[in-house]
Amino acid sequence: MKKLIPFLLVFCTLVCLAGCRGSKEAPYDRSDYKQEYERLFRRNVFAQCENMGTFYATYCLARLDQKPHGEDPRYKVTFLRGPLKGKTVLTRRVITKTLPVDAGPLPKGMVVLRNFDNPRNAYDTEHLDRWHLAVVHDTTHADKGHIELEFPRDANDFMAARESIYLHNIRYVVKPEVKDIRVWL
């Protein structure tokens, strides 16, 4: 009997290990709303669709069909959302790369892209139609999830309209670099 006890312990241990090894966990799923939302912005660009040629122009999500080349410095884009949905246009005003605002620095005077609809839901893909350029004015409430932005209309608009915007509705403009249009003396 004494010889049987160690044998049973070893056998039970092997059975338990084999049983644990046989159970499989669910595969890792990467298709959540946040990743789909960011993937949409990474694959597409923002192109001007209203008030073209001005700082307060409206930008909409568009698919980049053709980059500029030697003879023609314009982008060929097809709008995915907004008032020109489905139309293909040639334009020079395209924002090719943006990043979400995170805990990184947002210095006063930095130009960012903000969602016009400003939905409370961070990943509300139904309200991705209209975006505007804005200038960071005040970040004292960034820890609460929102900052104050200015919306200048032209180079002489020193008292621009201001609005508090949720951080998840703001994106850094990476390419091309955009500067504040106002002329400071």
Structural domain contains residue 16:
no
Looking at residue 39, what is its pLDDT?
A: 83
Please give the torsion angle defined by the CA atoms of residues 155, 161, 164 and 170, in that order, rounded to the nearest 10 degrees: -30
Whole-prediction pTM value? Answer: 0.73
Looking at residue 62, what is its pLDDT?
A: 93
Structural domain contains residue 56:
yes
Contact predicate 132/116, CB 8 Å: yes
Structural domain contains residue 20:
no
Looking at residue 64, what is its pLDDT?
A: 92
Structural domain contains residue 150:
yes
Structural domain contains residue 88:
yes
Only one residue has tokens 């998840």, namely 168
Contact predicate 160/108, CB 8 Å: no
pLDDT averaged per 10 residues in sequence order, the chain, 185 residues? 64 60 49 72 90 87 90 90 89 90 79 80 66 90 87 81 86 85 67
Amino acid at 180: D
Domain that holds residue 80: 33-175
Structural domain contains residue 92:
yes
Question: How close are the terminal C-alpha atoms of the chain, in Å?
Answer: 97
Structural domain contains residue 1:
no
How many whole angstroms separate alpha carbon 25 and alpha carbon 63?
A: 38
Total domains, the chain: 1
Looking at residue 103, what is its pLDDT?
A: 54
Structural domain contains residue 23:
no
